[in-house]
Amino acid sequence: MSATPELITIAAPIRHDWQLAEIEALFALPFNDLLFKAQTVHRVYFDPNEIQVSSLLSIKTGSCSEDCGYCPQSARYDSDLNPEALMPVDAVLKAAQQAKDQGASRFCMGAAWRSPKDRDIQRVVEMVQGVKALGMETCVTLGMLTDKQTQVLKDGGLDYYNHNLDTSEEYYSEIITTRTYQDRLDTLERVRDAGINVCCGGIVGMGESETDRAKLLLQLVNMPKHPESVPINMLVQVEGTPLHGIDSLDPLQFVRTIAVARILMPQSRVRLSAGRKDMSDEMQALCFLAGANSIFYGDKLLTTDNPMTNHDQQLFDRLGVRMGGSSYA
């Protein structure tokens, strides 16, 4: 039987008016049909055999006042994490050079703050300018920002700001109580208004329903402008955090989430992020087929393990994909 006409549409228009029922219908498609649709959309906007590679460094670790149920950096949980103060600029630049030498084109810096102090922002701007001088794109995730701090980062040359929504608004209070969903949306609005590219996605496998995953993507796709980068994280369970021991998500449901994100946000980089250490090569290959075209490279993602760089290179060789960053559009 031939594919139905709607599954072979070359490219749908970029939309910001999706309804929940439409997104749930995508999740409900037969797996093969969903991946075909996602790959078809993906090929319109991107080289299907090119993966953008980023590297992520924790520049300030632990002692965070937030209570995010997944995070070992919270001061509220006993996760055996050793807190570390904000790193010296030269140490950050050394790590950035190493990441570039290994093929990363974007360097992301994360600090475990609820919100940074103004003096911290000045240090981060020095890091941003140093990384840009190496010829790399820059991204930071620092928590909630004020208007002034956002503008300082913009004036300092920051390319991307990461601030994930994590999950649906309805499920959010099951995961975090120390900041609201609206707090996150307000920070994203400040970043967008300042002219900084937005990196925003979520975490799946936290006990949420498929409807919650659909609602997370609904929030992202109906923003005035789609996030330029959409990280989809699989929960990494860390002993001592409230979500340790929760039932794991079916891997194919994770792949479905990648595919739906690709269909909804055709021009965005969909990043296969946390959790890759626990994914088989075959699962990662399915994610790339579903439209993921960005990964974090290196043996650490902030505080959790990531596949070794040489393993990623071997997987890329087996799949015939290469590291890059350009798109067709």
Mean pLDDT of 79-95: 82
What pLDDT is recorded for position 326? Answer: 44
Q: For the chain, give the mean pLDDT.
A: 87
Q: In whole angstroms, what is the distance from residue 199 CA to residue 139 CA?
A: 8
* Res. 299 pLDDT band, cuts 50 70 90: low
Token code pair at residue 272: 């296969």
What pLDDT is recorded for position 179? Answer: 87
What pLDDT is recorded for position 195? Answer: 96
Query: 213, 271, 276, 287: which is the annotated catalytic residue?
Result: 271
* Res. 309 pLDDT band, cuts 50 70 90: low
pLDDT digits over 143-182, tens only? 999 999 999 999 999 999 999 999 999 999 998 888 899 9
Give the max Cα distance, the chain.
64
Query: 123, 192, 199, 200: which is the annotated catalytic residue?
Result: 199
Q: In whole angstroms, what is the distance from residue 236 CA to residue 103 CA?
A: 25
Looking at per-residue pLDDT, the higher value among 63 and 233 belongs to 233
Residue 197 has pLDDT above 50, yes or no: yes
Residue 281 has pLDDT above 80, yes or no: yes
Q: Is 287 a catalytic residue?
A: no
What pLDDT is recorded for position 310? Answer: 78
Query: 108, 200, 256, 262: which is the annotated catalytic residue?
Result: 108
Mean pLDDT of 63-92: 75
Residue 228 has pLDDT above 90, yes or no: yes
Given phi > 0 = left and psi -120 to 50 = alpha, else beta, which region is 116? beta
What pLDDT is recorded for position 283? Answer: 94
pTM of the prediction? 0.87
Query: 68, 179, 213, 262: which is the annotated catalytic residue?
Result: 68
Looking at per-residue pLDDT, the higher value among 73 and 200 belongs to 200
Q: Is 200 a catalytic residue?
A: no
String of DSSP letters for 96-164: HHHHHHTT-SEEEEEE--SS--HHHHHHHHHHHHHHHHTT-EEEEE-S---HHHHHHHHHTT--EEE--
